[in-house]
């Protein structure tokens, strides 16, 4: 990791840049795939699956036999872990449901809001070198709690055309309606436009690499809603002289191993702590099965020595990390000053990986600075909210003059007339 000492505030924007591809080239490539899938359906999906995943598929949909077989393909220990995570995630998300309340804004005027589940949702589950079974829980559980009528799942196949047994098992456990062995841009395009096999959906959820993220961005401009732009994983750790270097190194590596385009940051006011973490990183990295991937991600990453905690929090809020770990002695005090982050982890015994799997919070979070404006996936993500109003004759008399005056100020006479004609019919003209 690169070590930077006391950067001037004017340099922060450059210093905190994420790893990027050439987006103009990327967008052209992704747009072409989307257009071919939209025009040629299953044939294009199969063609791109052969090209990118090196497998020819006879069927895009995972069969019921394959789904049921998953029960015997994973260990009892993993099933127990899945059950525990399932319980915690479900418990946390069920508590987010708020019941509608009727508000009387003035005498005779009643307004309320009704949450309605999105009818058809598509879940994208990254596969590749590390199938993200936990993401099925994070997206499938709130979708089912919300009551979405149709929930489909797309995930890349392996070179044998198979889907991870754990993904099949969890999808069955949650009651996901259909599973498709399709990944990458072609999966996003299929869920957006529909094909002969894959139905179109109203909203697409799920993280992915920069190609998937670009595909979500493009289809959101054209045909379908998305949860957010969730790209390569990122983590920032704020530490001081009292922090545990081994714990910090383990957290940095847990994110770095996601992919070579991941980024991790360590911010501290202690140079000695930074030196100790650097040494610990070398020790722990050498033992990791994915050490080559993690090492490449560390090349995108930085340890930054700052003059004060005030500066550190300012930099964190500028960066808006997907994941933020606070392990300073005064972490509770600092946490109150955080305004831009996807998910925050407090204290020595709250590793980011707990949130990835089983604490209960959702791990589908805004990356690339989108935490300035976006929340992570939550129950509200699976609802649309419809407002209702009911106005009595007396209520319209109460607010009618305000409505007519404002409408006429906007030169929208028909708006004013719609109130005036009713007031006259009531004998109030």
> Per the residue annotation, which of 323, 352, 363, 408 is the catalytic one?
323
Same domain for 94 and 66: yes
The mean pLDDT of 24-47, rounded to a whole number, is: 95
Is residue 125's pLDDT more than 90? yes
Same domain for 419 and 308: no
Between 15-24, 45-54, 63-72, 360-369, the lowest mean confidence (pLDDT) is in: 15-24
pLDDT of residue 98: 85
Between 6-15, 69-78, 103-112, 207-216, the lowest mean confidence (pLDDT) is in: 207-216
The pLDDT > 90 percentage for the chain reads: 90
pLDDT of residue 429: 46
Tell me if 111 is assigned to some domain: yes
Same domain for 245 and 206: no
Residue at a domain's end among 227, 252, 282:
227
pLDDT of residue 427: 61
Same domain for 238 and 154: no
Same domain for 418 and 272: no
Q: How confident is the model at residue 226 (pLDDT cuts 50, 70, 90)?
A: very high
> Per the residue annotation, which of 36, 234, 322, 352 is the catalytic one?
322
Tell me if 1 is assigned to some domain: no
Is residue 371's pLDDT more than 70? yes
Same domain for 132 and 62: yes
Q: What are 336's two structure tokens?
A: 């109150």
Q: Whole domain around residue 314: which residue ranges?
A: 232-373
Tell me if 13 is assigned to some domain: no
Tell me if 2 is assigned to some domain: no
Same domain for 303 and 218: no
Residue at a domain's end among 227, 243, 259:
227
The mean pLDDT of 388-402, rounded to a whole number, is: 97
Same domain for 81 and 65: yes
Is this prediction's pTM over 0.85?
Answer: yes
Average per-residue pLDDT for the chain: 95
pLDDT of residue 209: 82
Active-site residue flag, 234: no
CATH number, domain at 141?
3.40.50.1980
How does pLDDT run across 39-73, given as a tens digit for each residue?
A: 999 999 999 999 999 999 999 999 999 999 999 99
Residue scoring higher pLDDT (291 or 24): 291
pLDDT of residue 24: 75
The mean pLDDT of 250-258, rounded to a whole number, is: 95
Number of domains, the chain: 3
pLDDT of residue 99: 84
Is residue 426's pLDDT more than 70? no
pLDDT of residue 10: 95
Q: How confident is the model at residue 340 (pLDDT cuts 50, 70, 90)?
A: very high
Tell me if 3 is assigned to some domain: no
The 3 state secondary structure assigned to the chain is CEEEECCCHHHHHHHCCCCCCCHHHHHHHHHHHHHHHHHHCHHHHHHHHHHHHCCCCCCCECCHHHHHHHHHCCCHHHHHHHHHHHHHHHHHHHCCCCCCCCEEEECCEEEEEEEEECCEEEEECCCCCCCCHHHHHHHHHHHHHHCCCEEEEECCCCCCCCCCHHHHHHHHHHCCCEEECCCHHHHHHHHHHCCCCCCCCCEEECCCCHHHHHHHHHHHHHCCEECCCCCCCEEEEEECCCCCHHHHHHHHHHHHCCCCCCEEEEEECCHHHHHHHHHHHHHHHCCCCCHHHHHHHHHCCEEEECCCHHHHHHHHHHHCCCEEEECCCCHHHHHCCCCCCCEEEECCCCCHHHHHHCCCCCCCCCCCCHHHCCCCCCHHHHEEEEEEEEECHHHHHHHHHHHHHHHHHCCCHHHHHHHHHHHHHCCCC
Tell me if 357 is assigned to some domain: yes
Active-site residue flag, 323: yes
Same domain for 294 and 150: no
How does pLDDT run across 277-315, given as a tens digit for each residue?
A: 999 999 999 999 999 999 999 998 999 999 999 999 999
Q: How confident is the model at residue 127 (pLDDT cuts 50, 70, 90)?
A: confident
pLDDT of residue 21: 62
Same domain for 322 and 210: no
Between 7-16, 122-131, 350-359, 411-420, the lowest mean confidence (pLDDT) is in: 122-131
Is residue 108's pLDDT more than 70? yes
pLDDT of residue 231: 72
Same domain for 266 and 361: yes
pLDDT of residue 230: 76
Residue at a domain's end among 176, 193, 227:
227
Tell me if 4 is assigned to some domain: no
How does pLDDT run across 169-217, given as a tens digit for each residue?
A: 999 999 999 999 999 999 999 999 999 999 999 999 998 888 998 999 9
Same domain for 248 and 208: no
Tell me if 261 is assigned to some domain: yes
pLDDT of residue 196: 98
């Amino acid at each position: 990791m690169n070590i930077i000492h006391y950067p001037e505030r004017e340099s922060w924007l450059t210093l905190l840049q994420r790893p990027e591809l050439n987006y103009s080239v990327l967008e052209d490539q992704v747009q072409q795939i989307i257009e071919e899938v939209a025009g040629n359906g299953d044939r294009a999906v199969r063609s791109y699956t052969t090209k990118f995943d090196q497998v020819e598929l006879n069927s895009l949909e995972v069969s019921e036999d394959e789904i049921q077989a998953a029960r015997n393909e994973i260990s009892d220990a993993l099933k127990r872990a899945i059950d525990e995570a399932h319980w915690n995630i479900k418990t946390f998300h069920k508590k987010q449901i708020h019941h509608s309340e009727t508000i009387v804004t003035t005498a005779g005027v009643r307004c309320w809001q009704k949450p309605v589940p999105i009818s058809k949702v598509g879940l994208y589950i990254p596969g590749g070198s590390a199938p993200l079974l936990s993401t099925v829980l994070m997206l499938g559980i709130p979708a089912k709690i919300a009551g979405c009528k149709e929930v489909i799942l797309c995930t890349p196949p392996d070179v044998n055309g198979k889907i991870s047994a754990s993904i099949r098992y969890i999808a069955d456990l949650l009651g996901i309606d259909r599973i498709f062995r399709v990944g990458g841009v072609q999966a996003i395009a299929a869920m957006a436009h529909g094909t002969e096999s894959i139905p179109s959906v109203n909203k697409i959820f799920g993280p992915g690499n920069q190609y998937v993220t670009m595909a979500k961005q493009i289809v959101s401009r054209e045909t379908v809603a998305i949860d957010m732009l969730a790209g390569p994983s990122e983590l920032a750790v704020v530490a001081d002289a009292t922090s545990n270097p081994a714990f910090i190194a383990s957290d940095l590596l847990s994110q770095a191993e996601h992919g070579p385009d991941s980024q991790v940051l360590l911010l501290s006011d202690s140079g000695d702590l930074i030196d100790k973490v650097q040494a610990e990183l070398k020790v722990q990295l050498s033992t990791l099965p994915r050490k080559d991937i993690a090492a490449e991600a560390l090349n995108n990453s930085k340890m930054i020595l700052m003059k004060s905690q005030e500066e550190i929090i300012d930099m964190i809020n500028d960066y808006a990390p997907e994941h933020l770990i606070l392990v300073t002695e005064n972490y509770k005090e600092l946490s109150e000053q955080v305004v831009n982050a996807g998910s925050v982890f407090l204290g020595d015994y709250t590793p980011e990986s707990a949130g990835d799997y089983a604490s209960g919070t959702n791990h589908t979070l805004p990356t690339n600075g989108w935490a300035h404006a976006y929340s992570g996936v939550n129950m509200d993500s699976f609802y649309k909210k419809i407002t209702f109003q009911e106005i009595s004759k007396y209520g319209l008399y109460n607010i009618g003059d305000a409505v007519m005056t404002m409408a006429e100020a906007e030169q929208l006479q028909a708006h004013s007339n719609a109130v005036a004609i009713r007031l006259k019919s009531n004998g109030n003209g």
